[in-house]
Structure 1
Amino acid sequence: MIANKYKAALTLGAASVGLLAGFPYSHHFWGGLLTSACQAAVVGGLADWFAVTALFRKPLGIPFRTAIVPRNRKKIFQAIAEMVQVELLSKENIAKTLVNYDLSAVALHFLNEHDGRKYLKEIVYQFAYKFIEQVEPDELGVIIGGILKKYARDARLAPLIIESSEWLIENKYDDQIIDFFIAQLESIGEQQPFRHLLGDLVLEARKSYERDSERRRIFNDLFQLSQQQLAKDAQKALLDFLDEVKSSGHPLRSRLKDRLVRLIVNLRSDEALQQQIEDWKTSQLSNKIDFVQYSTSFIAEWRMKAVQNKEQAAWLGELSNQLNQFIDEFAASKTRRLNFDHQVKQLIGKWLDSNQAEIGSLVKNSLKKMTDDMLVEFIETRVGNDLQMIRINGSVVGGLAGMCIYLLTFWW
């Protein structure tokens, strides 16, 4: 704008100099032609300068029909708001534009190419931390405990046992179940209290064996079979036996697996057994299991650990892995991506339906922050260069018109 402004001023100045230089010789042909051309150029340039300046300011302090833009700012703002609301950001135009975009691809591009995963994780982490810091274990425990109790009360336990057991067997988890129970039995069998229990059982068995038989008592005394030694030997024999059962080809292991299958088959067809399980569940829920207390204790302990060890919290790494897995699965699933694209476009459409009027209000509120000087500067920086060309064209066209008029009237 500044370059054309100087050019317009230079053009007007040159026309003024030409007028002054040619006026003394205006009675000659060439002097008159120059005078007429420059005179018309000065008039045209001044007229256009006044017109351009009057758009934004008051030229020569004249208030009548000047400073058009500042005086009509409300109309201008209203027109801009309506244009944005009705034409640019109408629901129809946005819908036509969105049809050409795969919003899921846009989201994935942001996540994978612009550290979007990092930003998403930071948002989720901050939300999780705020939730953890503000949560009240007692209040949340009551809510979660109530939900768990209702679910446990409404859900039938027998079908869950049947389906989960069948799934475990189909996926070859029955061996792991047997190994788990063997490991638990070994853990119990290795403990000193269990040896004492075996000792007591051996003592009772020995007394029963020796009763009314002097020869048996003498035999035991002769071989010095002490209670402690017998308990130790029995414990070792039990542990050795459990170790043998770990072998995949052990007969007892096969019988246990067959027994497990038969139990599941019987449970599926035995309605009385199913009812016993449901009755047991009801009894436990009524008298022994306090979901609220368990939930409150768990939440309080988990909250304390999470707050004390923010950076080292185990759930943080798991949450990060889950987010990465979710994004990768989303990227690989065409169905999910199409559904995401459809849902987001529907949400945008619904938002536009309910907030269409707010778009215009938002634009007007933003424009109201502009002062008259800011508005003038905003328009001048964008169209001022073209407006200054009007001044240049006014001088040039005026000069040409003056020359034509002079030539037409010179001989008459």
Structure 2
Amino acid sequence: MSGAGPRQPRRLALGVLLAAAALAIAMFPFRSTWWGGWILAVAEAGVIGGLADWFAVTALFRHPLGLPIPRTALIPANWELMAARVGTMVGSRVLTKDYVAQEIARVDISSLIARGATSISSRDLDAATQELARWLAAELSPKMAGDLITRLRDLVLARPLAPVLAGLLEVARRNEWDRRVVTAGAGALAEALDRPAFRATAGDLVDDLLARYREGMSLAPRLWIGVARLLGLIDRERMLAAIQSGLRQVVEEPDHPVRQRLAAAVEELPGRLRADARLVARVEAAKRDLLATPVATRVLEDAAAAVHRTVLADLERPDSEVRAWIVERLERARRALADDEELRRELDRWAKSRVLEAVERHHQRLAEFIENGVLALGPDGAVRLIEEHAGDDLQYIRVNGTVVGGLAGGLLHAIRLVLGLV
């Protein structure tokens, strides 16, 4: 034990033991008198009781006086068994499934949601969004954004795209996200085309698409395209400049024809993606052609980095559109939670059912979790932990041993004196 707190009970126990020993020495010359013999018996029995309890307490943690006495240093010798039994006891007798279920049922999550929803203001939501933006700026690097896009690409390649795309398009149209996505995406791509590395990558993609397009043509169209390229009519830089100019026009003009065509396509496309087998096959083929190439990977990574910079820059602005949009949605959710009692009850039931499912699934691992936590302490750590939390009480056991031993010795000596008189 360490610190003034743990040392004080130990000093008290040692002081009581030394006082009993000093009293025994002082009374030894008077042992022939009835009162001297009685006090000596009290003192001697107190010393014996104090020493016995000192031995018992010390033997829990270490070898008394450093002697390898059998059945001492019990905790260091048995800490692995102790860890297993503590884990089993807590898992099977303390935090049982029924007990955890009862405690979860007592928690009124709906009331907690109501209080939280009424106590949060729009200013709080805006401040939280700003903090989130700062955290994203610090933690989410462009490389991480690129890695995230790469993983998303692998996921898209592994699953059918058409039904997912249909659902996303319907949700986007209902919430008018399609317009924001077009603006943000076109702006990010136009900005990215100003950077030489991305422009070179986009040029490689244009060349790759042109090569694929030519492969599907007959001889005459392929010949004319080759002549046009020789004359400079089909030039890589000219095509990239046209693409960049068109993207900027899409960003600047709310009624741009591309926007209108995209809006009309988004409106009719979900139904076709679910019913038109040929379109579904074309979507899957296009998905593989566009995403399964190294060039597409580089384009996606560069686009992710550009979107990452654009969004973070917007979030840091005082009049951020992205932050205003997020705060507006959060405010709608807050009002719905504050006003709709049935919604809160549904969330209460859902949260409790998910927690109970997790308890049912992982309860048997609770004992293992606790056992591993105790094992991680090691024998010395287990000794320190118990001494820190139970050391004071164990030192008072030594005090009680000295006092109780003395009282027992005095009582026995008094009985002997009474029997001697009889």
Residues 1:336 and 2:336 are matched in the alignment: no
Structure 2 distance, partners of 1:323, 1:117, is 9
Q: Find the counterpart in structure 1 of residue 252 from structure 2.
A: none
Instruction: Answer whether contact 1:87 1:93 (CA < 8 A) is retained.
Output: no
Structure 2 distance, partners of 1:11, 1:389, is 10
| Closer, same or farther: CA 335–96 of 1 in aligned 2, 3 Å | same
How far does residue 369 in structure 1 lie from its aligned partner after superposition?
Answer: 1.0
Q: Find the counterpart in structure 2 of residue 394 from structure 1.
A: 401
Structure 2 distance, partners of 1:147, 1:361, is 43
How far does residue 15 in structure 1 lie from its aligned partner after superposition?
Answer: 0.7
Instruction: Answer whether contact 2:162 2:283 (CA < 8 A) is retained.
Output: no
Structure 2, unaligned stretches of length 5 or more? 1-5, 171-270, 292-299, 316-320
Q: Scaled by the length of structure 1, what TM-score is found?
A: 0.57
Residues 1:64 and 2:109 are matched in the alignment: no
How far does residue 88 in structure 1 lie from its aligned partner after superposition?
Answer: 3.0
| Closer, same or farther: CA 140–368 of 1 in aligned 2, 3 Å | closer
Which of 46, 63, 74 matches 1:41?
46
Instruction: Give the residue type in structure 2 aligned to 1:16.
Output: A
Structure 2 distance, partners of 1:308, 1:116, is 21
Q: Find the counterpart in structure 2 of residue 93 from structure 1.
A: 99
Residues 1:135 and 2:149 are matched in the alignment: yes
Q: Find the counterpart in structure 2 of residue 103 from structure 1.
A: 109
SS for the counterpart of 2:313 is: coil
Structure 1 distance, partners of 2:104, 2:167, is 43
Larger radius of gyration: 1
SS for the counterpart of 1:72 is: helix
CA-to-aligned-CA distance 1:264-291 (integer Å, 9 cap, x gap): xxxxxxxxxxxxxx99xx99x98xx999
Structure 2 distance, partners of 1:17, 1:363, is 47
| Closer, same or farther: CA 44–17 of 1 in aligned 2, 3 Å | same
Q: Find the counterpart in structure 2 of residue 261 from structure 1.
A: none
Residues 1:14 and 2:19 are matched in the alignment: yes
Q: Scaled by the length of structure 2, what TM-score is found?
A: 0.56
Query: Equivalent residues in 2 for 1:281-296 (5 A)?
Result: none
Instruction: Give the residue type in structure 1 aligned to 2:8.
Output: A
Query: Equivalent residues in 2 for 1:116-265 (5 A)?
Result: 126=136, 133=146, 134-135=148-149, 146-147=162-163
RMSD over aligned CA atoms reads 4.4
Structure 2 distance, partners of 1:104, 1:55, is 49
Which of 357, 376, 401 matches 1:350?
357
Q: Find the counterpart in structure 2 of residue 307 from structure 1.
A: 309
How many correspondences in the alignment?
A: 283
Instruction: Answer whether contact 2:145 2:304 (CA < 8 A) is retained.
Output: no
Instruction: Answer whether contact 1:121 1:320 (CA < 8 A) is retained.
Output: no
CA-to-aligned-CA distance 1:340-375 (integer Å, 9 cap, x gap): 111111111111111112211111111111122211
| Closer, same or farther: CA 40–132 of 1 in aligned 2, 3 Å | closer
Instruction: Give the residue type in structure 2 aligned to 1:40.
Output: A
Instruction: Give the residue type in structure 1 aligned to 2:417.
Output: F
| Closer, same or farther: CA 326–25 of 1 in aligned 2, 3 Å | same
Structure 2 distance, partners of 1:329, 1:31, is 85
Structure 1, unaligned stretches of length 5 or more? 156-277
Residues 1:370 and 2:372 are matched in the alignment: no
Instruction: Give the residue type in structure 1 aligned to 2:51.
Output: L
